[in-house]
A = this chain, B = another copy of it.
Amino acid sequence: MKFDPAQIREAAKEDFDQTWQKGGEYLFHPAVNEQYPRISCHYGTPHPIFDTISKLREAYLRLGFSEAMNPVIVEAQEVYRQFGSEALAVLDRCFYLAGLPRPDIGISDQRIAQINVILKRELSADEVEAVRQILHGYKKGQVEGDDLVQEIAKAINAHDALVSQILEAVFPEFKGLKAEATSRTLRSHMTSGWFLTLSNLHYRQKLPIKLFSVDRCFRREQAEDAARLMSYHSASCVIMDEDVCVDDGKAIADGLLSQFGFQKFRFQPDDKRSKYYTPGTQIEVYAFHPALVGSATKYGSGWVEVATFGIYSPTALSQYDIPYPVMNLGLGVERIAMILHNSQDMRGLSYPQFQADWELTAREMAQMITVDKSPSTDTGRAISRAIVETSIKHGDTPSPCEFLAWEGQLLGRP
């Protein structure tokens, strides 16, 4: 509590030690519900995936790569250009984008009658024409779907709730709408985007071009499980240069992963021979992390597969008129995050809120337990402290026994 410095200075001048000893009298004693760990110093916690993204970005920047944003929406046609005969298999795993069609809606006399009933008045010819124009504009894409209600409400001077009711009751065309697929897809990995990006850079930037991107990708999985999510994050980079080679992939893998505590690396040709890589250059990176040694996972040896790299095939690059070889290395953010956070389930790490098994530490539980009623006055709190201290002091005395814990005035009476 607040004190008077002048008075304490005076007292200390006379007897420093005694004044110092009495300092405790100014201490605040919180009620039981305001004591640690019930009170805590709250701080915001980062999400493990986004935290890992942030660390990966910094690691790439420190390796001298510049950050790019690649298109997340890619025409299916691009997949054909990049994958050749493999395209169909790849597209099977892609999400396509679809959208609701905009119905062509006429206003018959019968419909006008229905509207009049809801409005409890008759629409004028001008108003009917205005509504017709709006519906036509909506069909043509000139009026946005989320402006439709507001526009009609303004045109016929009605409350927007009423208009919503009209659209629902009078125009069943809206209700039965079914989305229609387009030829656009969501990228299933970052490579789709790199071809587009590099085809626009190779002729106007100095080589080498070193770029990275850490961003969302989408895979159309039959189901999500501990190791697969429909939307995941890829941390991908490219080097375009005349003399790029497999050793660059090894050096980048080493330079990137050693920033995360990995200490040794093994490189193994991939069984899968993707058509967008030059044959023989698609390589899996295995890395050793000391913190994994002895862990109760399948990585107890400390070794884990963490990345893949390869040299883009001249065949695929030529489709984009790119005349230089390109090294591409990519890794799954969720996978690295699982290793760093000792997690067994990608879903639990990404979406803890949806997990049925919810764990509380002893401290979190202690923080949630409060006493229902506790003294609210200084005297009340002093009594409660006195009782606790007396109990501790005489805890070993065999009962029955009786001790004075506190004596004083309460509510002005002794």
Residue of B nearest to A291 (CB): B291
Q: Is the beta-carbon distance between B3 and A363 smaller than 8 angstroms?
A: no
Write out, one digit per residue, whether chain A residues 259-298 have a CB within 8 A of any chain B CB (1) or not (0).
Answer: 1000110000000110100111100000000010000000
A382 to B204, CA, bound (A): 33
Contact indicator per residue, chain A 306-340, by CB within 8 Å of chain B (1) or not (0): 00000101110111111111000000000000000
Question: How far, in angstroms, from A102 to B230 measured CA to CA in the complex?
Answer: 18
Q: Which residues of B contact A220 (CB under 8 A)?
A: 97, 99
A314 touches B178 (CB 8 A): no
Q: Which residues of B contact A373 (CB under 8 A)?
A: none
The 8 Å CB contact of A1, one of B177, B197, B243, B246, is B243
CB of A353 within 8 A of CB of B200, answer yes
Instruction: Give Cα distance in the complex from A141 to B2, angstroms.
Output: 42
In A44-100, which residues have CB < 8 Å from any B CB? Answer: 44-47, 49-51, 54, 57, 59-69, 71-73, 84-86, 88-100
Say yes or no: B252 contacts A88, CB within 8 Å.
no
A293 to B81, CA, bound (A): 48
Q: Which of B16, B85, B254, B273 contacts A37 (CB 8 A)?
A: B254
Contact A254 B40 (CB under 8 A): yes
Nearest-neighbor residue (CB-CB) of A208 within chain B: B42
Q: Mark A135-153, 1 if CB is under 8 A from B, else 0.
A: 0000001001111111000
Whole-angstrom distance from the CB of A244 to the nearest CB of chain B?
7
Interface membership of A410, Cβ < 8 A: no
Query: Which chain B residues border A85 with CB–CB below 8 Å?
Result: 16-17, 161, 164-165, 167-168
Q: How far is the CA of A4 from the CA of B20 in the complex (A)?
A: 56
**Contact at B66–A311, with CB atoms within 8 Å?**
no
State A231–B28 Cα separation when bound (angstroms). Answer: 36
With a cutoff of 8 Å between Cβ atoms, the chain B residues found around residue A66 in the complex are 44-47
Determine whether A392 belongs to the interface, using a CB cutoff of 8 Å to chain B: no
Q: Which of A5-13, A119-127, A393-401 contacts B (4 or more CB under 8 A)?
A: A5-13
Residues of B within 8 A of A186 (CB): 97
Q: 1/0 per position for A94-113, CB-CB distance to B under 8 A?
A: 11111110100000000000
Complex Cα gap A17–B210 (Å): 29
| Given contacts A27-B278, A90-B146, A259 and B43 within 8 Å (CB-CB) | yes
Cβ contacts under 8 Å, A37 to chain B: 250-251, 254
B84 x A63 contact (CB < 8 A): no
A29 and B181 in contact, given A62-B62, A73-B231, A97-B97 (Cβ under 8 angstroms): no
Distance (whole angstroms) from the CB of A269 to the closest CB of chain B: 13
A365 to B352, CA, bound (A): 42
Kindly supply a per-residue 1/0 record for chain A positions 183-217, scoring 1 wherever the CB is within 8 Å of any chain B CB and 0 otherwise: 00010000000001100110010100010111110
Q: Which residues of B contact A91 (CB under 8 A)?
A: 100, 145
Provide the bound-state CA to CA distance between A322 and B319, in Å: 53
- Residues of the B chain whose Cβ atoms lie less than 8 Å from the Cβ of A214: 50
B30 touches A315 (CB 8 A): no
Q: Does A406 count as interface, using CB distance less than 8 angstroms?
A: no
A325 contacts B26, C-beta separation under 8 Å: yes
Q: A252–B43 Cα gap in the complex (Å)?
A: 10
The smallest C-beta distance from A133 to any residue of chain B, in angstroms, reads 18
How distant is the Cα of A291 from the Cα of B43 in the complex, in angstroms?
23
A384 interface contact, C-beta 8 A? no
Q: Mark A210-239, 1 if CB is under 8 A from B, else 0.
A: 101111100010100000001100000000
Contacts of A147 in B (CB 8 A): 89
Smallest beta-carbon distance A318→chain B, Å: 4
Question: 5 A-B pairs, CB-CB below 8 angstroms?
Answer: A5-B322, A9-B318, A41-B248, A89-B148, A96-B98
Additional A-B contacts beyond A6-B318, A86-B149, A201-B353 (18; CB < 8 A): A5-B317, A5-B320, A5-B323, A9-B318, A17-B85, A26-B278, A26-B325, A41-B248, A45-B67, A49-B69, A50-B69, A73-B231, A88-B175, A89-B146, A95-B97, A96-B179, A99-B220, A150-B272
